[in-house]
Amino acid sequence: MKLAIIGDVHLGKAQKGLSEREDDIYELFSKISEQVIEEKAGIVCFLGDLFDSSHPPVKAISVAMNVFENFAKNNIKVILIAGNHDIPSIKTRMCPIELPKMNENMNNNIIELSVQNQVFKFNENNINVHICGVEYHPPEKRQSLIKALENISSSISLKSDSEKNLNILLLHQGLKEFSPAEEEISLTEIPNVFDFIFVGHLHLRMEKSHGRTHIILPGSIEIGSVSEVVKQMHNKARVIIVNTETGMYEKVEILLSRKFIHKKFQSSAIDYELKNLAGELEKSVVDRKLPWVYLEIEDDAKIGNSLINEKIARATEGKVLFVQKEINSEEINEREKNTEISFKDVNIRDIIRGYFPKYNEEVYELYEKRKDISGAKEVMEKIYEKFKNNYVRQKLPEM
């Protein structure tokens, strides 16, 4: 069987508030689903952030429903994990990835992996395939994530002489090896029982081997930020196809709905560079979709931001959907120097005292315990007790 692995989709995201960019993602998502069907995949796995918000627009839900219904008609199961964008901030609200399961035609075709349902198992051609996953865990729940991964490890059978296993883990997390933040988990904290770990959330396209395990980050399907334009200048969406019989995988790429152009140059060459850019823009219209341009400019000639912006506007007017600019000049550097505040000069206790005069000591203690959940809970109980003791119930006026 073939498995299709798809990274962050972010249905409903309107980059810079532009409806055109929201539609780009819908169109690309539909193209990707057609490619998955063409590849004759039996299962498609999503690595979290299917939606850009826990309250997605109606059109985003409609597009997801149509795609998933098409998968069901082609006997393709869908496996989902919830990403940080999918998970509602209020626990009583429904996570939007649960909506497609409410459709009777798709209910049995959609599997959501979470701490409550961690493993989907099937056997094909004498190979036991375990597709495992949990929802996104924020940094303060790091230990809960490690515990969940240990539970998965103990629940899946290891290889023996008589049977062959293929163990796959789906995550929507940062990993220290790719995003060296203090709170992220490390590959060394993930049990060494998986053949593949597919990771969403970071929007990066990277691969790494760790012992027996292949770690693959497919990246987001669309370019959603400046950093992605610079680091991931691909202009293609990527789907990973895994063959469960051979344990091999391949990368299938689909052209983005809109072209992205990145240029970096000095202001002394601005006329030459913008002339070349204008020529490139005319060739970069795809299906009548104007390109997105990101410019990094070093003002070595000291011509000033106003003139730089004026020249860019003249060269790109009517030829682009949006121009993002990053201009490095003495003018901006001087402004930043005059407004720069060193964090060392900020006294957190004084700030808290100004905003919480009655509870300043307790709030500061809470700040100190911000990475210690049990300690923070104790402080909150102290704050509550102090609030309760100081609270004076107002009497209602007699009628």
> Quick check: 44 and 6 in contact, CB under 8 A?
yes
Q: What percent of the chain has pLDDT over 70?
A: 81
Q: The whole model's pTM is what?
A: 0.79
> Quick check: 26 and 63 in contact, CB under 8 A?
yes
User: Which is more confident, 345 or 265?
Assistant: 265
Find the mean pLDDT for residues 84-98. Answer: 78
Question: What is the spatial distance between Cα 231 and Cα 191, in angstroms, rounded to a whole number?
Answer: 30
User: Which is more confident, 50 or 157?
Assistant: 50
Find the mean pLDDT for residues 113-132. Answer: 92
Q: Which fold has domain 2-255?
A: Purple Acid Phosphatase; chain A, domain 2 (3.60.21)
pLDDT tens digit string along 309-348? 999 999 999 999 999 888 888 765 655 555 444 544 556 6
Alpha carbon separation from 187 to 74, 105, 146, 208, 296 (Å, rounded): 36, 39, 11, 10, 35
Please state which of the ranges 90-104, 264-278, 303-317, 321-335 shows the lowest mean pLDDT. 90-104
**3-state class of 115 per DSSP?**
coil
pLDDT at 303 over 70: yes
Q: Which pLDDT score, from 0 to 100, does residue 339 have? A: 46
Kindly indicate the confidence band of residue 395, based on its pLDDT and cuts at 50, 70 and 90. very low
Q: Which pLDDT score, from 0 to 100, does residue 271 have? A: 95
> Quick check: 39 and 76 in contact, CB under 8 A?
no
pLDDT tens digit string along 212-238? 899 999 999 998 876 676 665 568 899
User: Which is more confident, 365 or 170?
Assistant: 170
